[in-house]
Structure 1
Amino acid sequence: MKNFPNAFVIIIGVVLFAWVLTFIIPQGSYQRITNTDTGITTVVSNSYQKMEGDHLSAFDVMLTIPNGVAGRADAIVLILLLGGCFFVIEKTGALSEGLYKIVNILQGREGLSLFIVSLLFTAAGVSIGMQEEVIAMMPVLLIFGKSMGFNTYTTLYMSYGSTVLGSAFSPSNPFGVIIAQQEAGVPLLSGSGYRLVVLGIAFLVWVIYLIRYNAKNRMKKVEASTPHEKISHNSKIILILLGLTFIIVMYGLLQLDWGFMEMSASFFTLGVVSGLLGKLGVNGTGEAYVNGFKEMIFAAMIIGLANSISMVLKEGMIIDSIVYGLFGPLQYLSASVSGVLMMVAHSILHFPIPSYSGQAILTMPILVPLSDLIGISRQTCVLAYQYGAIMGDMIVPTNGALMAILAICGIPYNKWFRFAWKPTLLMLLLGGIGIVVAIYIGYD
């Protein structure tokens, strides 16, 4: 399709469509209570009631645009500073020298490189639920992919796609599984053995699919250019610091309760140190940062604009009605059918709620009593959430990270959807089988 809308137009279009829905879907709400000790707000099950409220005016909808951007300020800051950091490192020549070395080592071993990169990004998804961070890495990943003869879809699949896979099938994703388990009232990190088995199977199927796709869609290699045959001493130090920064950030996220701001500070520091080590000077480092900001600003804004969609649905008082309509009928079905349909419903719900952590907080208090009634264990209820909601990040146009990455790669959403729906459906099918088996074996 020629002239398919770009990411900006799609997001604004969905915001307007969400506004239209507020006049069609009946308004309603669940009761909520806030824990005074933790400050966490939870939904009271079986408390849904229809109600009449004021509809959003056209100006109210326009207000959600700046408010949505402001609401994701922490993620936007991370993308800008992380992107600036990578731009500085690229200017020092360290990235190109490191890439040249890796390409030489993996020359003729494209299958192995696909496996290694996919494994690394899957591990990042498993451990920290990484997504937004991939945005700043895409320019470097695209260069690496072209050097190996991969087309853009292969590069996207082995990087962003693998982080989604890892996040969805993870036994420990802090923004998905742990939040859902906390809301479901089950011990944190419990049931990890079964999740790891399903994760291993999913990763194997994922890589086989990727290797087969790449074998049929290879492109001519574009040689990575570098002024040096060997990595300079300063470049080695910069690359080591880059690796150490990722280790520190992962430790901070998992052990120190870090958020986006701490990550931003870490990468900002790395960028400044790298610029000075790379002999860019104070002014050169500053200019490189500014140029990096310019490269990332559109992607960062897409993240903020996507947040406006859920704001319209919440302020229009229909988000709870959507949840009630999707999950209410499941109580009349068998456990196995309900479990699979629960996963499907989570995938559908992920369109209006692109934050899967927010989706867990909204739905788990409602679904746990429903699962108890149907005869589905709470662990299986969490499985249905993580497989359905998080795998949806592969295709939902309301996901700011996905749309930002597609914008950087120059891929229209319609072309990405035609590519991504098959592997996404394959993983959802695998997730559905995992849920049925969990119910059959009494997974708890």
Structure 2
Amino acid sequence: MKLSFPHPIIILLSFVVISALATLIIPSGEFDRVLDEQTGRAVVVPGSYHEIEDRNASVYDIFLAVPEGFIEGADIIVLILLLGSSFYVIEKTGALEAGLTALISSFGKAKSLLFYLLSIFFALCGATFAMQEEIIALAPVLVIFGQRINYDLRSVVAIVLGSSLIGGSFSPMNPFGSLLALNTAELDPSEGFIYRLAFLALAILIWTTYHVRAGKLKGATNDETEILSNTPLSLRHKIILLLTLGGIGAMGWGIVIQDWGFNEMSACFFAVGIAAGLVGKLGPNGTAKTFAEGFGEMIFAGVIVGLARSVYLILQDSLIIDTIIYGLFQPLESLPTPLAVTGMFISNSLIHFPVPSTSGQALLTIPLAGPLTDLLGLSRQVAVFTYQYGAGLVDVFSPTNGGMMAVIAAAGISYNYWLRYIWKPILIIMALGLMASILSIYSF
């Protein structure tokens, strides 16, 4: 009998139960905390850990933690639903696919330039709304693209899908990754924005250059004719794409300049989604129906966030988080800081295999890693960086990432064939992420 990998909901429910069982084994304890007047956050006092009266979780607490987890994560769940469903509406208007087709048809011979433009475009999509499943519908276009220009299909998929995933990992404003982690770590989203943006640009440059060179098949020349028929982009599609880019720009401006939170970002893209639906001739009823379908597509991500919050609530209410942090801190205390950061990076990468949700992992690990960096005398940004790069980049090759598996399957690429091609470039980018994490020690 063939065993299947557990569903993510089963995995997180198991974490809920395991966390409750852990309260029976791990003693309750806490660190003293003082208010940091500069940041306004309560920080751990090193060496102040002490045990207190045990607060073990009961069966009742396990079931109660589930709805309470959804309530605790309400703001990010709403963002996921509204942002995700808005882009679902944009996708259904055909603007995204039409924009890609028009872009490809505009570059007959300048393949390298086209690759870089495609990479930047999809990195921007990944950086702002973690685009992944939406690429499944583009698989037939990518297959034609690869055939016409005589490039390895895996390199074409890597430039599109990989750039989106790398964009999401290195992004300074991914609501499902960096923003959620920064919020959980009680950090200002604008802090480190330029630092993340610089490494995002470097990562995309390295990633694209690798595939432009490695993907060229034998016999390919620079005299390729038109890739696809040059179909003009309709006025409606142009307006929708401009609205989308405007929404992305507005979100970046709001985060950095106006101190936007999740609610403001949700409202911004909800408005973009409504406008896109109406411009795309879906009509009021059609737009509403498409939004409803988008909610259905995104609700799973919201469920993952709620369940991840449930795990944290059990650990928090039982007062064993500080005990776990104390246990983690002990072996790291004697290590040089770069080695300690490397250990955090590797741990986040390994955790992401059984916990394929980046948002779920943020809520599971940042509450532990944040105070841990306090004890190490580091900025909590280090905890966010090691999570952001360590976990996010695993999505490029992890078999538990359903979105990636669906894209390569739609393109006719077997997983082992994908892995044989992708392991070298992703190791290079992970090394860059580790370097960025270590350098952050001296930058924040």
Tell whether the structures are fold-level matches, with TM greater than 0.5.
yes
Q: How far did 1:261 drift?
A: 0.9
Query: In the alignment, which of 158, 161, 164 is matched to residue 169 of structure 2?
Result: 164
Q: How far did 1:433 drift?
A: 5.8
Match of 2:9 in 1: 8
How does 1:221-370 map onto structure 2 within 5 Å?
Answer: 229-334=231-336, 337-338=339-340, 340-341=342-343, 343-344=345-346, 354-355=362-363, 358=367, 361-368=370-377
How does 1:92-131 map onto structure 2 within 5 Å?
Answer: 92-105=93-106, 115-120=116-121, 130=128
Question: For the Cα contact (< 8 Å) 1:174–1:254, is it kept in 2?
Answer: no
**Residue 138, structure 1, aligned to residue 132, structure 2:** yes
Question: For the Cα contact (< 8 Å) 1:26–1:321, is it kept in 2?
Answer: yes
2: distance between equivalents of 1:438 and 1:285? 44
Question: For the Cα contact (< 8 Å) 1:167–1:176, is it kept in 2?
Answer: no
Give, as a single letter, the amino acid of the residue that structure 2 aligns with 1:73.
A
Q: How far did 1:56 drift?
A: 0.6
Question: For the Cα contact (< 8 Å) 2:172–2:193, is it kept in 1?
Answer: no
Partner SS for 2:106: helix
Bigger CA drift: 303-312 or 106-115?
106-115
Q: How far did 1:423 drift?
A: 6.5
How does 1:14-163 map onto structure 2 within 5 Å?
Answer: 14-34=15-35, 40-105=41-106, 115-120=116-121, 130=128, 133-134=129-130, 137-149=131-143, 154=158, 155-163=160-168
Question: For the Cα contact (< 8 Å) 2:21–2:57, is it kept in 1?
Answer: no
Q: How far did 1:122 drift?
A: 5.3
Partner SS for 1:323: helix
CA 1:264 to 1:324, structure 2 compared with 1: closer, same or farther past 3 Å?
same
2: distance between equivalents of 1:201 and 1:38? 30
2: distance between equivalents of 1:18 and 1:65? 13
Partner SS for 2:259: coil
2: distance between equivalents of 1:144 and 1:28? 52
Question: For the Cα contact (< 8 Å) 1:88–1:274, is it kept in 2?
Answer: yes
Match of 1:374 in 2: none
2: distance between equivalents of 1:198 and 1:37? 27
Bigger CA drift: 230-239 or 152-161?
152-161
CA 1:289 to 1:340, structure 2 compared with 1: closer, same or farther past 3 Å?
closer
2: distance between equivalents of 1:241 and 1:47? 53
Per the normalisation by structure 1, the TM-score is: 0.70
Question: For the Cα contact (< 8 Å) 1:326–1:345, is it kept in 2?
Answer: no
Q: How far did 1:299 drift?
A: 2.5
CA 1:329 to 1:302, structure 2 compared with 1: closer, same or farther past 3 Å?
closer
Q: How far did 1:147 drift?
A: 1.6
Deviation by residue 1:156-186 (Cα, 9 ceiling, x = unmatched):
4321233213459xxxx77778998979xxx
Question: For the Cα contact (< 8 Å) 2:28–2:54, is it kept in 1?
Answer: yes
2: distance between equivalents of 1:436 and 1:287? 47
1: distance between equivalents of 2:6 and 2:394? 15
Partner SS for 2:231: coil
Q: How far did 1:338 drift?
A: 4.8
Question: For the Cα contact (< 8 Å) 1:176–1:360, is it kept in 2?
Answer: no
- Please list every run of 5 or more consecutive structure 1 residues that lacks an aligned counterpart in the other structure: 217-223, 369-377
Per the normalisation by structure 2, the TM-score is: 0.70
Q: How far did 1:148 drift?
A: 1.6
CA 1:296 to 1:438, structure 2 compared with 1: closer, same or farther past 3 Å?
closer
Match of 1:393 in 2: 391
Deviation by residue 1:304-347 (Cα, 9 ceiling, x = unmatched):
22222222322333322222222223333456545544655676
How many residues end up aligned between the 2 structures? Answer: 399
Q: How far did 1:121 drift?
A: 5.8
Q: How far did 1:191 drift?
A: 11
Question: For the Cα contact (< 8 Å) 2:34–2:43, is it kept in 1?
Answer: yes
Q: How far did 1:247 drift?
A: 0.6
CA 1:229 to 1:116, structure 2 compared with 1: closer, same or farther past 3 Å?
closer
Question: For the Cα contact (< 8 Å) 2:87–2:273, is it kept in 1?
Answer: yes
Partner SS for 1:46: coil
Question: For the Cα contact (< 8 Å) 1:299–1:405, is it kept in 2?
Answer: no
Bigger CA drift: 253-262 or 298-307?
298-307
1: distance between equivalents of 2:424 and 2:20? 30
Match of 1:220 in 2: none
Partner SS for 1:42: strand
Q: How far did 1:361 drift?
A: 4.1
Question: For the Cα contact (< 8 Å) 1:242–1:270, is it kept in 2?
Answer: yes
Question: For the Cα contact (< 8 Å) 1:245–1:270, is it kept in 2?
Answer: yes
2: distance between equivalents of 1:78 and 1:438? 28
Q: How far did 1:366 drift?
A: 1.2
Give, as a single letter, the amino acid of the residue that structure 2 aligns with 1:289.
F
Partner SS for 1:354: helix
Question: For the Cα contact (< 8 Å) 2:132–2:404, is it kept in 1?
Answer: no
Partner SS for 1:85: helix
1: distance between equivalents of 2:204 and 2:231? 35
How does 1:199-214 map onto structure 2 within 5 Å?
Answer: 202-207=203-208
2: distance between equivalents of 1:70 and 1:312? 14
Give, as a single letter, the amino acid of the residue that structure 2 aligns with 1:311.
L
Identity of aligned residues (%): 31
Question: For the Cα contact (< 8 Å) 1:330–1:342, is it kept in 2?
Answer: no
Q: How far did 1:257 drift?
A: 0.7
CA 1:84 to 1:199, structure 2 compared with 1: closer, same or farther past 3 Å?
closer
Superposition CA RMSD, Å: 4.6
Question: For the Cα contact (< 8 Å) 1:275–1:285, is it kept in 2?
Answer: yes
Deviation by residue 1:249-272 (Cα, 9 ceiling, x = unmatched):
110011111111111111111122
Question: For the Cα contact (< 8 Å) 1:87–1:292, is it kept in 2?
Answer: yes
2: distance between equivalents of 1:182 and 1:160? 23
